Structure 1
Amino acid sequence: MKQLPNILTLGNLFCGALAIIYILHAPQYIAEFNGHDYAVTNPEPIYWASALVVLAAIFDFLDGMAARLLKLGSPFGKELDSLADMVTFGVVPGMIFFRLLRSAYMQMPDVFDVSYINLAPALLVPCFAAFRLAKFNLDTRQSENFIGVPTPAVGLLVASFPLIMLYNPFNLAHYLQNIWVLYIMIVILCYLMVAEMPMLSMKFKNFNPAQNWPRFLLLILAILAIPVLKFATVPFVFVIYVVLSMAARPATSDK
């Protein structure tokens, strides 16, 4: 039982590493169009990567819960958790953006291949995630709430994009095939991770409605949105989370 939180954290890391394998080894086939051969990626493995990020987020939630319930929190566990989060919620979203950008470029007319220079901005996501996680480990103000959007929230948001591409609710897939939309999202997410903005933690210390109204409201809106928005619920909840955090201005600890 002593190592249970660390085992759960390693489950998070295992899922993240496997997700990267699925993304980078998505099989390609050659399609002919207007006399030219195009390398087309089979997107199915990327959907599996999305599912693995969700499973990793469950492990990430359970390891913290186990550490608190069993009173097994330690500096080692905190560092291990950040290392796992860096892979799952930093590198994996960067790889998904990499694939989405490549796909978006291949939709453009007269494009036969894409330079890696055009795809390199996707790697800003893991870079900013690393910066945020290192800062989190040293910042004593983030013991109760966050400063900047936590990396798991970014990871889950980006992991929803392949599923939105698959099911295309409200024709959102059209926007995820636009290179400028993708570049703008990369910039916004990188900024939000390191911004000096107090953000809500979803940990309930009690169930007092007056103290937890933003958390209750976020949960209620998420539940109501699922039947209507389906996979688009994830970006909807992400935006509401940021707006509620800014409206509620959660206090940060200076201990």
Structure 2
Amino acid sequence: MSLRNRSKDILKDDDPTRIATDNGHFSLARNFYIADVITLLNGVCGVTSIFATMRYLISNDVNDLYISMIAMPCGMLFDFLDGRVARLRNRASLLGQELDSLADLISFGVAPASLAFAIGMRTYLDSVVLTYFVCCGISRLARYNATVAMMPKDATGKVNYFEGTPIPTSLSIVAILAYLVYSGQYLEDLPGQLVNLAGKSWGFHPIVLLYAVSGTLMISKTLHIPKP
């Protein structure tokens, strides 16, 4: 029996992970469940945050920063809800798994990095660290998708633990930045100021190292975090 035929046998019509197709044509609408719509709302929050950050760079209105920071935990709320709804309705799919990872990358990877840039971490080395952070988030989400089928689960199908810190933990950094903005410690007044390594062009802000630590913890193989 060919591998293709075996795959067809494995994915039965009533399999909740099956992706519906008609003669090879993928129908996006047919494969969307309520949980997937909630996942998209997470992505909406992430995009809203990024746009608010961009508006701040033009307007210098601190309220745009607050909108950016508020949108990210709103995304986490939807990220929390989508898995619960999928398990309660027993309606999950491979499409939903990929949607979740992409939405998480926007809301908890790109959006926090954009916020850091907006509030003053704008040197070349700052950008290198922020890029490293986002790449760690991409790698962490890809590893989860590739290994989730082999990880231990409870009776409801929920994974018992995460390998490395989940990407939403980046919101802890956002909380710190929110306090700094509220207390006026941003732009030229960031804690630690600007450290010059070899001239001004090679300076960096020590607080950006929070992103380096967060990214490194995300890709850790030995660190196991119980899933709530």
Same fold by TM (over 0.5)? yes
Change (3 A) 1:176 1:6: farther
**Correspondence list, 1:9-20, <5 A:** 9-20=39-50
**Correspondence list, 1:190-205, <5 A:** 190-196=215-221, 197-202=223-228
How far is the alpha carbon of 1:97 from its aligned partner?
A: 2.0
Tell me, which stretches of 5 or more residues in structure 1 are unaligned?
A: 30-40, 103-113, 203-255
Q: Which amino acid aligns with 2:179?
A: I
- Does the Cα contact within 8 Å between 1:132 and 1:194 map onto a contact in 2? yes
How far is the alpha carbon of 1:118 from its aligned partner?
A: 4.4
**Residue number in structure 2 paired with 1:252:** none
**Residue number in structure 2 paired with 1:163:** 178
**Residue number in structure 1 paired with 2:97:** 78
**Residue number in structure 1 paired with 2:137:** 129
Q: Out of 170, 175, 184, which is 2:209 matched to?
A: 184
Aligned residues: 177
**Aligned partner of residue 95 in structure 1, secondary structure:** helix
**1:176, 1:28 → 2: CA distance?**
26
- Does the Cα contact within 8 Å between 1:6 and 1:63 map onto a contact in 2? yes
**1:62, 1:78 → 2: CA distance?**
14
**Residue number in structure 2 paired with 1:61:** 80
**2:208, 2:224 → 1: CA distance?**
25
How far is the alpha carbon of 1:201 from its aligned partner?
A: 1.2
Q: Over aligned residue pairs, what C-alpha RMSD do you find?
A: 2.6
Tell me, which stretches of 5 or more residues in structure 2 are unaligned?
A: 1-31, 153-158, 195-203
**1:176, 1:59 → 2: CA distance?**
35
Change (3 A) 1:23 1:201: same
- Does the Cα contact within 8 Å between 1:93 and 1:125 map onto a contact in 2? no
**1:86, 1:177 → 2: CA distance?**
29
**1:199, 1:144 → 2: CA distance?**
9
How far is the alpha carbon of 1:119 from its aligned partner?
A: 3.0
How far is the alpha carbon of 1:163 from its aligned partner?
A: 1.9
| 1:150 equivalenced with 2:175 (yes/no) | no
How far is the alpha carbon of 1:117 from its aligned partner?
A: 5.2
**Aligned partner of residue 119 in structure 2, secondary structure:** helix
- Does the Cα contact within 8 Å between 2:192 and 2:205 map onto a contact in 1? no
**Which one has a larger percent helix, Structure 1 or Structure 2?**
1
**Residue number in structure 2 paired with 1:175:** 191
**Residue number in structure 1 paired with 2:29:** none
| 1:25 equivalenced with 2:49 (yes/no) | no
How far is the alpha carbon of 1:195 from its aligned partner?
A: 0.6
Provide TM-score, normalisation by structure 2. 0.69
**2:123, 2:181 → 1: CA distance?**
25
**Residue number in structure 2 paired with 1:108:** none
- Does the Cα contact within 8 Å between 1:148 and 1:194 map onto a contact in 2? yes
How far is the alpha carbon of 1:9 from its aligned partner?
A: 0.4
Provide TM-score, normalisation by structure 1. 0.62
How far is the alpha carbon of 1:115 from its aligned partner?
A: 4.7
- Does the Cα contact within 8 Å between 1:121 and 1:183 map onto a contact in 2? yes
- Does the Cα contact within 8 Å between 1:20 and 1:92 map onto a contact in 2? yes
Any idea what the Cα deviations from partners look like across 1:50-107, whole Å, max 9, x if unmatched?
A: 11011111111111110010001221111110011011111111112222343xxxxx
Q: Which amino acid aligns with 1:8?
A: I
**2:128, 2:61 → 1: CA distance?**
21
Percentage identity across aligned positions? 25
Q: 55-64 or 140-149, which moves further after superposition?
A: 140-149
Change (3 A) 1:176 1:88: farther
Q: 117-126 or 44-53, which moves further after superposition?
A: 117-126
Q: Which amino acid aligns with 2:131?
A: L
- Does the Cα contact within 8 Å between 2:161 and 2:226 map onto a contact in 1? yes
How far is the alpha carbon of 1:28 from its aligned partner?
A: 4.6
